[in-house]
Amino acid sequence: MAPQGSQAELEFGGPLGAAALLLLLPATMFHLLLVARSGPARLLGPPPYLPELEELWRPWALLLCLTWLGLQAALYLLPARKVAEGQELKDKSRLRYPINGNPIYDFFLGRELNPRICSFDFKYFCELRPGLIGWVLINLALLMQEAELRGSPSLAMWLVNGFQLLYVGDALWHEEAVLTTMDIIHDGFGFMLAFGDLAWVPFTYSLQAQFLLYHPEPLGLPLASVICLINAVGYYIFRGANSQKNTFRKNPSDPRVADLETISTATGRRLLVSGWWGMVRHPNYLGDLIMALAWSLPCGVSHLLPYFYLLYFTALLVHREARDEQQCLQKYGLAWHAYCQRVPYRIVPYIY
Ligand SMILES: NC(=O)C1=CN([C@@H]2O[C@H](COP(=O)(O)OP(=O)(O)OC[C@H]3O[C@@H](n4cnc5c(N)ncnc54)[C@H](OP(=O)(O)O)[C@@H]3O)[C@@H](O)[C@H]2O)C=CC1
Ligand SMILES: CC(C)CCC[C@@H](C)[C@H]1CC=C2C3=C(CC[C@@]21C)[C@@]1(C)CC[C@H](O)C[C@@H]1CC3
């Protein structure tokens, strides 16, 4: 069993890294929001102005947030829903309580793996609905604001809204797949996921639409078609890879995956070594990154700001891939080494 508590290897740079991220993440989010609405929209450099403290406090904004969470929580609790069985958890239901846990590190990553009140699972609830749907609603509000401002929404705004709506719709349609992510199985529910899900996703993932509202970008049909093609290629790889693995994990004899080549592991689970998962070790990340590029391109190339998501996401996925690699090495040992030899590239064929 993987070491836990005080013996576990610390991630995210340990307490120092966690302390830095606690400050950096909210500061970055504020910086991006302030800069997006300024004329020069400079990603690097100080923000154009700092709002007064009173400007940051609006009772109705708090009420709106609480109402949004309350509404989502009520919908989540509706009795008419499918109940899915989750994966075996990292702690195998045996709890250990180290006395001298580091409070900053624990606050960032969360001590509690899956906090629940009755059947209300805080982490699962936050991971998808409020933040992802909130992101789409913010995008839509920006589209409507642009229509009010300029008579009709621009083609660039339509593309950004359409692409991101597809992405969120896909995540909600395949909701059950979230149960196999490391966020649910491995990470605690701390600042990273609470802030990430509820603030970072809706406010920074909608940055392209925010940028377009203040910095209109003329976009011709030929270029728009190329961008649509890039998004379609990304989505094809992303969905193909995720569905192939999910189908295989659910039922390895399913005709759609039964012919794929696999290697056995000591745990009894097998690893795919052909199909999407024989191309690179994380084909789904590759597709996701191609889509991220397609979301930025409608904003033109005059500013770096709309490419923030692509840059951040590349860093997130490289780090996530390394973490997943460690976890797979612990789970599968020699079989994982064999897989890495057979499929040497991590995300981008022949490059990385
Ligand atoms: N937009 C965003 O901000 C983010 C999006 N994502 C997206 O979410 C999706 C889920 O990503 P994530 O949770 O990181 O992980 P993955 O869906 O990539 O799952 C990784 C797991 O898949 C299994 N696996 C790995 N290789 C193989 C293989 N060859 N054959 C069979 N199983 C294999 C292993 O688990 P096991 O063997 O136990 O099944 C491994 O731990 C991705 O599409 C990603 O792009 C992720 C993070 C952020
Ligand atoms: C605030 C930090 C910099 C990092 C926070 C990370 C979170 C925003 C992401 C961690 C894993 C995520 C996943 C998704 C959204 C972003 C977070 C919460 C998806 C739900 C996006 C849609 C995909 O289809 C599934 C993803 C699972 C992981």
pLDDT tens for each residue of the chain, 352 residues long: 344 444 567 889 998 999 999 999 999 999 999 998 888 888 888 888 888 888 888 899 999 999 999 988 888 877 666 666 667 777 776 655 455 587 888 889 888 888 888 888 999 999 999 999 999 999 999 999 999 999 999 999 999 999 999 999 999 999 988 888 888 888 889 999 999 999 999 999 999 999 999 999 899 999 999 999 999 999 999 999 999 999 999 899 999 999 999 999 998 899 999 999 999 999 999 999 999 999 999 999 999 999 999 999 999 999 999 999 999 999 999 999 999 999 999 999 999 9
230 C-beta closer than 6 A to ligand 2? no
Q: Which two tokens stand for residue 257?
A: 């995956």
Chain centroid, CA 308 distance in Å: 14
Grouping H, G, I as helix, E, B as strand and the rest as coil, residue 279 is coil
187 C-beta closer than 6 A to ligand 2? no
Q: Which two tokens stand for residue 286?
A: 């590759």
Contact 77, 64 (CB under 8 A): no
HSE of 133 in the Cβ direction (CA atoms, 13 Å)?
15
| CA–CA gap between residue 279 and residue 186 (Å, rounded) | 26
In this structure, are strands 116-117 and 120-121 parallel, antiparallel, or unpaired?
Answer: antiparallel
Which candidate, 328, 218, 234, places its Cα nearest to that of 290? 234
| Residue 112 CB coordination number (10 Å) | 13
- Interval between CA 299 and ligand 2 midpoint (Å): 23
Would you state the torsion angle of the CA atoms of residues 331, 334, 336, 341, taken in this order, to the nearest 10 degrees? 170
Residue nearest to atom 12 of ligand 1 (CA): 181
How long a stretch of residues is the chain?
A: 352
| CA–CA gap between residue 334 and residue 340 (Å, rounded) | 10
- Ligand 1 atom with the shortest distance to the CA of 332: 37
DSSP category for residue 154: -
Residue nearest to atom 23 of ligand 2 (CA): 171
Contact 291, 167 (CB under 8 A): yes
Contact 274, 316 (CB under 8 A): no
DSSP category for residue 126: H
- Interval between CA 197 and ligand 2 midpoint (Å): 7
| CA–CA gap between residue 70 and residue 93 (Å, rounded) | 30
271 C-beta closer than 6 A to ligand 1? yes
